[in-house]
Structure 1
């Protein structure tokens, strides 16, 4: 059975375009894959710092040994803690998936269908594993650094009386309002959020803020 190329595209929030890297990945694959190669895409808007990613889990479930998981950058695959990354990597390895990332040149060897197993190939495989670990660690550090700077900025703004909290876009507000209408029709909060393209946490914050306003403004 020919291996399938499984492209994973991710963005952290619904306000971001998760398909942004699709063109770059497609152009990259053109240099390695035959036109007849089977390519599947998995797209989702969810934090890379959590293991709870439906599309990534579906990608893994769909995969067969020898299939290739392609990402634009390693941080699209993981911003996980060391413990969670170890768990995800073990699952990927047990499935028989091979990871290829545009920002990790040593991983491109996997797509070179003509390469033979040799001492050089074996060495590159070990080097690739090491670099993958380094990039995964760097992605997590970048995530933690940004969270820390954000928290510091919020604390400073609070001290200066300038903090107003995260402002929702009009698109998000409309999606939350539509989700509330679906809830009134009997849909669960989780299903209403998914049906309207927003995260459950976003909907819960909207409900909380709305209730708070009703209490303080009445």
Structure 2
């Protein structure tokens, strides 16, 4: 059941603007706002912990007074509780409402009002707690899997043994110069490149 936490602004008459964030490019973005009516969608492919969310910045700059920013859930919009409260407060002060589909909450008007602030803080805290539990279960699952031979392999190597040998030969031939070009040639980051060229231990 949806709930609207109101402040002092008028009802929305503008666009419904969707914001979607998925952790990797492989995740399905359509599921987050499936069946939800929106006029436009901005999508980030980034971890929730990163501050680099260009699509969110675009969405926040795009919305105008009377618009509604629609997000699947609070943890999709913000990195933490402080971030969540700041974004919602800034939007509602501009006359933009914020709708969270999963939580069934829509914030309008002044989100710093006592009731709105209480509701936002409670739901945001629960979302943070849920994320912490998920991360803990993931760590425990990995730890258990590592104890079982052959079950946990971790991330696949970026390069094969032959590619590593080729990379090291080319690097030696260049005297350690032109490593940025080598990284582009082998489609790896410079950090990964250095890990192969200068292994520890």
TM band (smaller chain):
0.5 to 0.7
Q: Which one of the candidate residues 129, 136, 149 is aligned to 2:124?
A: 136
Q: 1:3 offset after TM fit, Å?
A: 1.6
Q: Which one of the candidate residues 152, 165, 170 is aligned to 2:154?
A: 165
1:59 aligns with 2:59: yes
Aligned residue pairs: how many?
A: 162
Q: CA RMSD in A?
A: 3.9
CA–CA distance in structure 1, aligned partners of residues 81 and 32 of structure 2: 25
- Give the TM-score normalised by the residue count of structure 1: 0.57
More RCO (CA 8 Å, sep 6+): 2
Matched with 1:18 is 29
5 Å-filtered alignment, 1:1-218, equals: 2-26=13-37, 39-78=39-78, 80-107=79-106, 130-160=118-148, 162=150, 163-167=152-156, 184=181, 204=189, 208=192, 212=195
Greater CA drift, 155-164 or 50-59 = 155-164
- The structure where helix makes up a greater share of residues is 1
Q: 1:82 offset after TM fit, Å?
A: 2.6
**Segments of 4+ in structure 1 off by > 6 A?**
none
Gaps of 5+ in 1: 30-38, 111-116, 169-182, 193-202
Contact 1:106 1:128 in 2 (8 A): no
Gaps of 5+ in 2: 1-11, 158-179
